[in-house]
Copies of this chain bind each other. A is one copy, B any other.
Amino acid sequence: MLTGTDLLTVGQMTARSGFAASALRYYEAEGLISASRTSGGQRRYERHILRRLAFIRAAQNIGLSLEEIKEALGKLPEGRTPTPADWAKISRAWRGRLEEEIEALVRLRDGLEQCIGCGCLSMKRCRISNPDDVAGRYGSGAVTLPELLREDRRTHG
């Protein structure tokens, strides 16, 4: 199946990474991954690209945008194949991000407890949905509790 070199075809990459071929092309166009070409113009991927894709998928799961992921990937060493330590280094920042997301959700859940307890869902008092007391301070569109969360969940205001 595999000839002299250990370069991988698009088909092999889709099978091994779970990403669609169109996604791989997209990532290449966006500068997140790279590929060499055969004389006929077909893509051939080095094996370590799989690790890059693993990183991309993991980062997506944490909620990073492709732009952020690209930036993170840019911090990898240029000349050599990244070591496990390199990957660990750039992943370390994720922990804080995840912690924040978890905390925001927990606050939301606890606020919800209160709201369900009192049935208050209101612009004036509700802890999980109260833009009113923020509107004056930040202008319209601001949200009380889960600002962090909203940034993660919605594309733009």
Contacts and interface: CB of A to CB of B under 8 A. Distances in A.
Interface of A: 14-20, 50-51, 53-55, 57-58, 60-63, 83-85, 87-88, 91-92, 94-95, 98-99, 101-102, 105-106, 108-109, 112-113, 115-116, 118-123, 126, 128-132, 134-135, 140-143, 145-146, 149-150, 152-154
Nearest to A58: B129
B121 A95 contact: no
A64 to B, nearest CB: 10
Contact of A16 (B51, B132, B141): B132
Contacts of A121: 51, 54-55, 58, 84, 87-88, 91
